[in-house]
Amino acid sequence: MILHALVDDLGVARVAIESGATLVQLRVKNASTAQLVEHGQPFRDLCARASVTFVVNDDVEAAIQLKADGVHLGREDEGIERAREAGLLLGLSAQTLDDRGKLT
């Protein structure tokens, strides 16, 4: 079973992991790549210590710099090929069941 926690606060991430989260997705809107990397490093460290999958939302370059396990991209985000080249797990937003086939 995967318990996926979307977080922007380190304390919440810690509680999520203590409560059984197996994947933590860092979701910080309106941050530059540099800001996201700086903010995200403690999340990366926490996930690594707990052997929890760490995913960055919307920013492939930040995910790469943080050595994240994956990146989640929305329908309008760029970077699918870059994420694949970097070997990142790739989450993509789907709005309907029909969207599933369009995302592969």
Tens of pLDDT along the chain (104 residues)?
Answer: 889 999 999 999 999 999 999 999 999 999 999 999 999 999 999 999 999 999 999 999 999 999 999 999 987 778 999 999 999 999 988 777 666 555 55
The range of the structural domain enclosing residue 30 comes to 4-103
CB atoms within 10 A of CB 36: 21
Q: How many domains does the chain have?
A: 1
**Does the pTM exceed 0.85?**
yes
Residues 6+ apart with CB under 8 A from 57: 6, 25, 26, 27, 28, 71, 72
The closest of 25, 21, 68 to 44, measured between CA atoms, is 68
CATH code (residue 72):
3.20.20.70
Distance, C-alpha 1 to centroid of its chain: 18
Q: How far apart are CA 50 and CA 81, in angstroms?
A: 29
